[in-house]
Structure 1
Amino acid sequence: MLTNPFSPDFMERALIGGSLVAIICAIAGTWVVIRGMAFLGEAIGHGLLPGVAMATVLGFPVMLGAGASALLMTALLSALQRRGKLSYDTSIGLVFVGMLSVGIIVVSHSKSFATDATSMLFGDILAIGMSDLWTLTAALAVSLVIAKLFHRNFVAAAFDARIAQSLGLRPQLAQIMLVGLVALAITASFRAVGTLLVVGMLLAPVVAAKQWMVRIPALMVLGAVFGMLSVFGGLLISWYAQSAAGPSIACTAILLAGLSALLRRATRGFTRSAPAINELESAR
Structure 2
Amino acid sequence: MQFLQRALLGGALVAVICGVVGTWVVIRGMAFLGEAIGHGMLPGVAIATVAGAPVLLGAAVAAAVMSATIGLLQRRGRLSYDTSIGLLFVGMLSLGVIIVSHSRSFATDATALLFGDILAVGATDLIPLASAAAATILLAAVFHRSFVVAAFDRRIAHVLGRRPTVAHLVLVALVTLAVVASFPIVGSLLVVGLLLAPAVAARPWTRTIPATMVVASLFGVFAVFLGLLVSWHAGTAAGSSIALTAVVLAFVSGGVRAGMRRRRPNQSVVRAEPTMPAHARIEVIA
Give the TM-score of the pair, scaled to structure 1.
0.92
Instruction: Please say if 1:101 is aligned against 2:94.
Output: yes
Larger Rg: 1
Which amino acid is 1:127 matched to?
Answer: A
Match of 2:37 among 44, 47, 50: 44
**Segments of 4+ in structure 1 off by > 2 A?**
none
Q: Which residue of 1 aligns with 2:4?
A: 11
Post-superposition offset of 1:166: 2.0
Q: Spell out, residue by residue over 1:142-200, the C-alpha distance to the aligned partner (whole angstroms, 9 max, x if none).
A: 11121112111111111011211222211111111111100000000010001111100
Q: How far apart, in 2, do the equivalents of 1:153 and 1:272 lie? A: 35
Q: Using a 3 Å threshold, how does the CA distance of structure 1 residues 273 and 139 change in structure 2: closer, same or farther? A: closer
Alignment of 1:69-148 (within 5 A): 69-83=62-76, 85-148=78-141
Q: Which residue of 2 aligns with 1:216?
A: 209
Mapped contact 1:74–1:176 kept (Cα < 8 A):
no
Q: How far apart, in 1, do the equivalents of 2:142 and 2:62 lie? A: 25
Structure 2: segments with no counterpart, 5+ residues:
268-286
Match of 2:25 among 28, 32, 35: 32
Q: How far apart, in 2, do the equivalents of 1:273 and 1:47 lie? A: 47
Alignment of 1:219-234 (within 5 A): 219-234=212-227
Match of 1:53 among 46, 51, 65: 46
Name the % identity.
Answer: 61
Instruction: Please say if 1:190 is aligned against 2:183.
Output: yes
Q: Spell out, residue by residue over 1:199-244, the C-alpha distance to the aligned partner (whole angstroms, 9 max, x if none).
A: 0000000000001112000000000000000000000000000110
Q: How far apart, in 1, do the equivalents of 2:34 and 2:202 lie? A: 19
Which amino acid is 2:257 matched to?
Answer: R
Which amino acid is 1:64 matched to?
Answer: L
3-state DSSP class of the match of 1:272?
coil
Post-superposition offset of 1:81: 2.3
Alignment RMSD (CA, Å): 1.2
Q: How far apart, in 1, do the equivalents of 2:41 and 2:140 lie? A: 23
Alignment of 1:162-177 (within 5 A): 162-177=155-170
Which amino acid is 2:160 matched to?
Answer: L
Give the TM-score of the pair, scaled to structure 2.
0.91
Which amino acid is 2:215 matched to?
Answer: L
Mapped contact 1:49–1:103 kept (Cα < 8 A):
yes
Which amino acid is 1:193 matched to?
Answer: V
Q: Which residue of 2 aligns with 1:239?
A: 232
Q: How far apart, in 1, do the equivalents of 2:26 and 2:78 lie? A: 26
Q: Which residue of 1 aligns with 2:14?
A: 21
Which amino acid is 1:140 matched to?
Answer: A
Q: Which residue of 2 aligns with 1:200?
A: 193
Aligned residues: 267
Q: How far apart, in 2, do the equivalents of 1:125 and 1:195 lie? A: 13
